[in-house]
Amino acid sequence: MEKNTQFFCIEDFFKALGVTSKNALERLPIAIWEQQVKDSTTFSSWQEMLDQAGNEYSLANL
């Protein structure tokens, strides 16, 4: 997280969005989520962020 965002962990990313529960996360409009990704990460979209996380996880666990 720290390498590509302003946050130490995903929980801090959630806190910045005001997300404090699974229910709150599920109710968060995708447009707000996407804007947070654009504003506070090196990625242009949530999908790009997810793809990179998957790639890094795979490489680390080969």
3-state secondary structure of 31: helix
Q: Is the pLDDT of residue 4 over 90?
A: no
**Is residue 21 in some structural domain?**
yes
10 Å CB burial of residue 13 (0-12, 13-18, 19+) is buried
Taking a C-beta distance cutoff of 8 angstroms, is the pair 12, 5 a contact?
no
The predicted pLDDT at position 51 comes to 95
Taking a C-beta distance cutoff of 8 angstroms, is the pair 43, 3 a contact?
no
d(CA 49, CA 62): 20
Half-sphere exposure of 18 (CA within 13 A, CB side): 5
Number of domains observed in the structure of the chain: 1
- Domain of residue 54, residue span: 10-60
Instruction: Quick: pLDDT tens for 10-50.
Output: 899 999 999 999 999 999 999 999 999 999 999 999 999 99
Q: Is the pLDDT of residue 3 over 90?
A: no
**Is residue 5 in some structural domain?**
no
